[in-house]
Amino acid sequence: MSHTLGVRQAQKQKTRQALLDAALGLLEEQSLSSLGLREVTRVVGVAPTAFYRHFRDMGELGVALVEEALGSLHAMVRAILAEQAGAEERIDRTVEVVERHVREHPAHIRFVARERHGGVRAVRQAIAGELDRFAEEVAAALKTQPVSDGWRDDDVWMLAELYVDRLVTTAAALLDAEDGEPGEAERVVRVARRQLRLISIGRRHWMAAGGE
Amino acid sequence: MSHTLGVRQAQKQKTRQALLDAALGLLEEQSLSSLGLREVTRVVGVAPTAFYRHFRDMGELGVALVEEALGSLHAMVRAILAEQAGAEERIDRTVEVVERHVREHPAHIRFVARERHGGVRAVRQAIAGELDRFAEEVAAALKTQPVSDGWRDDDVWMLAELYVDRLVTTAAALLDAEDGEPGEAERVVRVARRQLRLISIGRRHWMAAGGE
DNA sequence: CACTTCAGAGGACAGTTGTTCACTGACACT
DNA sequence: AGTGTCAGTGAACAACTGTCCTCTGAAGTG
């Protein structure tokens, strides 16, 4: 027999997921600290008290959403960075991935952008932690590239932070662009590419310019 | 006789300011969309209905807070950019100003960081508009510098956006650092300086690298 | 002085919130 | 087959929300 996890647990996870989905939907037009427990359960079609079977409070649900939004991204990022392409192509590929991700999971991205500095401490910390993990991965990848020869470790890290932050900002800008004039999204993408290019140029001349 | 605004209007503005201050205080630990009108009036010590004499709703109060937080900054930014100092000193001066501003008006900065992507449309737009004005001023200043000779207008703008965004991010990072381990703030400042330096290097080599 | 204006008070309204408690009934385990 | 577990129910709770209405009294106006 295949280990079927039990009808019991399966149903539970189903409701749990329904709660997460409902919350994510409602969060498109408000922030977590104003989202009510009853509001969520009402959408799912379940009694308010059922919420407690899955999360202690809204903060806990928020943290779960953070994992859902950012957890799956690591593999993707690592794949891009591992590519042995030229700087220019890598930039294009990176921006493309961000663009696609925003288009496919807009609500998740919006949630992260909104709650990154939002009103719920636990969620803020979860996001910060996840972004730190990204920066770590980026830093590790940057370090293996020849351009980084002679760089101090903390300078590699500062560059990694710069990259990660730029991608997050670009993603957020793309969201804002979506419900604006058409063509605005393309402009954002074009600007993002050039900004990354400028950073890349600065990187190439960092040592020669006496980075310290 | 000096044109005394009238005791009436003076008192009104006083309560209005009290409402703004109280709201700003409460917003340190929650976001605007969860802030209640009664909550604010309670702190000030006035009847809930008095709120309506000053703002239609919380969104309107939020917009007023945006102006309070960002409006006064323009002169300061313009002053720094007008300085005819070397790139290195200008970076130091800029970071210093950001640092000081965060230390002197932490609540305002936190508010902007939080509501920049927050749940209230009107406030988001107000912040975006104000940041756009900043970018415009920065772009205008950059353009007068010799390093920008031959640059396309939209590339100057893309650089301006990069700078402004970096400053906003740095300010937010400084806030997070404040209620963390001591010494973290210094690290953030150091990183910010080096990131700006890297961007500055990229800028110097932009044309030679065939910025297009 | 009488007369208007209007910031703020205070009561009342219907709705909503999070949390508690005892409960049911289908699944899981022996 | 018998028994315990536990996801979800439904009623009740005190506390709170935004908004409406009428009222007051001090400041402004001539």
Taking only the tens place, the pLDDT of each residue in A27-64 is 999 999 999 999 999 999 999 999 999 999 999 999 99
Asked if residue A139 and residue A47 are part of one domain, the reply reads no
Q: How far is the CA of B64 from the C1' of C2 (A)?
A: 39
- What pLDDT was estimated at residue B4? 62
Cβ contacts (< 8 Å) between B186 and chain A: which residues?
none
In Å, what is the CA distance from A89 to each residue of A25, A86, A93, A154?
35, 5, 6, 26
Cβ contacts (< 8 Å) between B197 and chain A: which residues?
211
Kindly state whether residue B184 falls inside one of the protein's structural domains: yes
- What pLDDT was estimated at residue B132? 97
- What pLDDT was estimated at residue A107? 98
Residue closest to A194 by CA, chosen among A100, A92, A80:
A92
Mean pLDDT value across chain A: 94
- What pLDDT was estimated at residue A81? 85
Kindly state whether residue B139 falls inside one of the protein's structural domains: yes
By the 8 A CB rule, do B116 and B123 touch? no
Question: Which residues of chain B between 60 and 89 are close to nucleic strand D, CB under 7 A?
Answer: none
Domain range for B86: 68-204
Of B34, B113, B198, Cβ closest to residue A199:
B198
Calculate the CA A202 to chain-centre distance: 25
* Residue A156 predicted with pLDDT over 90: yes
Strand D contact at CB of residue B37, distance < 7 A: yes
- The total number of structural domains that make up chain A: 2
Q: How far is the CA of B23 from the C1' of D11 (A)?
A: 37
Q: Answer whether A125 touches B (CB < 8 Å).
A: no
Residue closest to B120 by CA, chosen among A202, A34, A125, A212:
A34
Confidence class of residue A5 from pLDDT cuts 50, 70 and 90? confident
Asked if residue B93 and residue B23 are part of one domain, the reply reads no
Q: Which phi and psi (to 5°) does residue A168 adopt?
A: -60, -45
Asked if residue A177 and residue A95 are part of one domain, the reply reads yes
Asked if residue A123 and residue A86 are part of one domain, the reply reads yes
In Å, what is the CA distance from A37 to each residue of A32, A138, B135?
10, 37, 40
Domain ends where: A17, A43, A67?
A: A67
In this structure, the dihedral spanned by the alpha carbons of residues B60, B63, B65 and B68, taken in order and rounded to 10 degrees, is -130
User: How many CB pairs below 8 Å do chains A and B form together?
Assistant: 109
By the 8 A CB rule, do A102 and A174 touch? yes
Domain ends where: B19, B40, B59?
A: B59
Residues of chain B with confidence (pLDDT) below 50: 1-2
By the 8 A CB rule, do B174 and A179 touch? no
In this structure, the dihedral spanned by the alpha carbons of residues A20, A75, A142 and B147, taken in order and rounded to 10 degrees, is -50
Strand D contact at CB of residue B56, distance < 7 A: no
- For the purposes of burial, counting CB atoms within 10 Å of the CB of B1, is it exposed (0-12), middle (13-18) or buried (19 or more)? exposed
Interval A144-151 mean pLDDT: 96
Domain ends where: A35, A67, A99?
A: A67
Asked if residue A95 and residue A30 are part of one domain, the reply reads no
Residue closest to A64 by CA, chosen among A55, A74, A77, A52:
A55
Kindly state whether residue B209 falls inside one of the protein's structural domains: no
Asked if residue B142 and residue B81 are part of one domain, the reply reads yes
- What pLDDT was estimated at residue B1? 39
Please write the tens of the pLDDT for every residue from B170-200.
999 999 998 888 999 999 999 999 999 999 9
Please write the tens of the pLDDT for every residue from A167-181.
999 999 999 998 888
For an interface test with B, the pick among A117, A184, A186 (most B C-beta atoms closer than 10 Å) comes out as A117
Asked if residue A186 and residue A126 are part of one domain, the reply reads yes
Q: How far is the CA of A14 from the C1' of D3 (A)?
A: 27
Return positions of chain C under 7 A from a protein CB. 6-12, 16-22, 27-29
Please write the tens of the pLDDT for every residue from A103-134.
999 999 999 999 999 999 999 999 999 999 99
Confidence class of residue A1 from pLDDT cuts 50, 70 and 90? very low
Q: How far is the CA of A171 from the C1' of D6 (A)?
A: 42
- What pLDDT was estimated at residue A27? 98
Kindly state whether residue B126 falls inside one of the protein's structural domains: yes
Asked if residue A115 and residue A142 are part of one domain, the reply reads yes
Of A119, A172, A206, Cβ closest to residue B31:
A119
Cβ contacts (< 8 Å) between B151 and chain A: which residues?
none
